[in-house]
Structure 1
Amino acid sequence: MTAIINYDDVEVGTELPARTFPVTRATLVQYAGASGDFNPIHWNEAFAKEVGLPDVIAHGMFTMAEAARVITDWTVDPAAVVEYSVRFTKPVVVPNDATGATIEVSAKVAAKLDERRVRVDLTATSAGQKVLGMARAVVQLG
């Protein structure tokens, strides 16, 4: 499958639809089960605080994956993402309440590359703090 976005129709500065992703403690337990990452900083509040965290935090790879969804929703083809990298700058703190946390993600086309590829830069925040830095993807367009 190829991305339905046509390279010739995309300009530098094109903004992808922003998304907000809710994260609860239940979400973290589900992700732990799927990923096999049962580190107690992701589910045990006492342990997380004992090691110096403010509370339980979301898995970094979970945060990274949620951010990538902005791109895969745009392209409608996860295989269109040919490169993806981030730096983890702050953890997503997930309180033990009905609301949990949110991850807000925006993205825009930062450069048109060769071979019908574009570089997309992402911004991901939670509680007003940037949680991913240097978040970039190379995307193959149709």
Structure 2
Amino acid sequence: MSAAIPSVGDRLVHKEFPPITRHRLALYCGASGDHNPIHVDLDFARAAGFPDVFSHGMLVMGYLGQALTDAVAPSRIRSFSTRFAAITQLGAKLTCEGVVTELIEHHGERRAKLALTTKDQNGEIKLAGEAIIAL
């Protein structure tokens, strides 16, 4: 991020990720310890009424966190929160963005509030959130 003070409406975060693959989901299972078969077992997912396996919500949140820390030094992040909006299907190509919604001051520190989103290639919001960053 440049040294200039951002304005409301400025996009500070933007990162695109490759499509989510079965291999990525299997790797995430191992890394996270979340071995819920809904994410890796096609037969299990179909028996539960889904057409295929789908991504872990926390994987999608991790992508958003990575996009945020790629744009803003972790030492400047004051808060980061998210809420899950929709299931992220296998093959989804995700784009994470963060736009300044408010400039504030807290105990003498200039800060920006960011609206965060993760959308798939169809523009469907999968994850929404907010971050507060020091300027």
Per the normalisation by structure 1, the TM-score is 0.81
Identify the structure with bigger relative contact order (alpha carbons < 8 Å, sequence gap 6+): 1
Q: Of the candidates 47, 62, 77, which is equivalent to residue 50 of structure 1?
A: 47
**Gap regions ≥5 residues in structure 1:** 95-99
Residue from 57, 60, 64 that aligns with 1:63: 60
Q: How many residues align?
A: 130
Q: Percent identity?
A: 35
Displacement after TM superposition at 1:17 (Å): 4.7
Report whether the alignment pairs 1:139 with 2:133: yes
Query: Which letter does structure 2 place at the counterpart of 1:24?
Result: T
CA contact (8 A) 1:18 1:106 kept: yes
Q: How far is the alpha carbon of 1:132 from its aligned partner?
A: 1.3
Q: 1:101 deviation in Å?
A: 2.4
**Mapped pair 1:119 → 2:110:** no
3-state secondary structure, aligned to 2:25: helix
CA deviation after TM superposition for structure 1 residue 123, in Å: 2.0
Partner-residue secondary structure (3-state), 2:51: coil
Gaps of 5+ in 2: none
Local SS of the residue matching 1:54: coil
Provide the TM-score with structure 2 as the length reference. Answer: 0.85
Structure 2 counterpart of 1:13: 9
User: What RMSD over aligned residues (CA atoms) do the two structures have, in Å?
Assistant: 1.8
Q: Distance in 1 between matches of 2:77 and 2:13?
A: 16
When residues 86 and 54 of structure 1 are mapped into structure 2, their CA distance, relative to the original with a 3 A threshold, is: farther
Instruction: Give the equivalent residue in structure 1 for 2:99.
Output: 108
> Is the 1:48–1:55 Cα contact (8 Å) retained in structure 2?
yes
Code of the aligned partner of 2:10: T
Against the structure 1 CA distance between its residues 112 and 68, is the aligned structure 2 distance closer, same or farther, given a 3 Å change threshold?
A: same
Residue deviations 1:71-130, cap 9 Å, x none? 21111x223222111211111111xxxxx3211222211111212221111121124221
